[in-house]
């Protein structure tokens, strides 16, 4: 039981670390006025064959 709780705590700590890092990076990008997400090119539809 203690081992399972320790594993969960370790996973949550690691996820929190990387999430906080990602949030900080996105805040820096937004502060510079850059697009947060790169623009995606328009999708082409496949030609329909009858």
Average pLDDT for 40-47: 71
CA 11 to the chain's CA centroid: 17
- Phi, psi for 2 (deg, rounded to 5): -65, -40
More confidently predicted of 47 and 29? 29
pTM over 0.85: no
More confidently predicted of 40 and 19? 19
Q: Which of 19, 22, 21 is nearest to 36 (CA)?
A: 22
Is the pLDDT at 38 greater than 70, yes or no? no
Note the pLDDT of residue 29: 87
Is the pLDDT at 11 greater than 90, yes or no? yes
């Amino acid at each position: 039981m203690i081992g399972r709780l320790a594993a969960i705590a370790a996973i949550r700590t690691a996820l929190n670390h990387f999430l906080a890092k990602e949030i900080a990076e996105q805040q820096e990008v937004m502060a510079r006025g850059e697009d947060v997400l790169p623009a995606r090119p328009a999708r082409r539809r496949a030609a329909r064959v009858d």
